[in-house]
Amino acid sequence: MSTKISLKAARVNADLTLDEASKLLEINRNTLMKWEKEPWIISALYMDKISKIYNLSINDINFLPNK
């Protein structure tokens, strides 16, 4: 089983700032900040978009709450 990375780590690994990533996702910077803290609130549509922009499989990003 592969280890999933956090949404923030996925963004950093894609070499994107909060501002750059939020523009590519067409969302507000504050929304992305909230999603990085609470990734389980993201809709499936945005999960797919994030995985494409960050160049990762959707299965490699942890969209679940921390245990």
pLDDT of residue 2: 65
Would you give per-residue pLDDT tens digits along the chain (67 residues)? Answer: 568 999 999 999 999 999 999 999 999 999 999 999 999 999 999 999 999 999 999 999 999 987 5
pLDDT of residue 4: 93
Strand, helix or coil at 64?
coil
pLDDT of residue 65: 83
Residue with tokens 């999933």: 4
- Please state the φ and ψ torsions of residue 5, each to the nearest 5 degrees: -105, 160
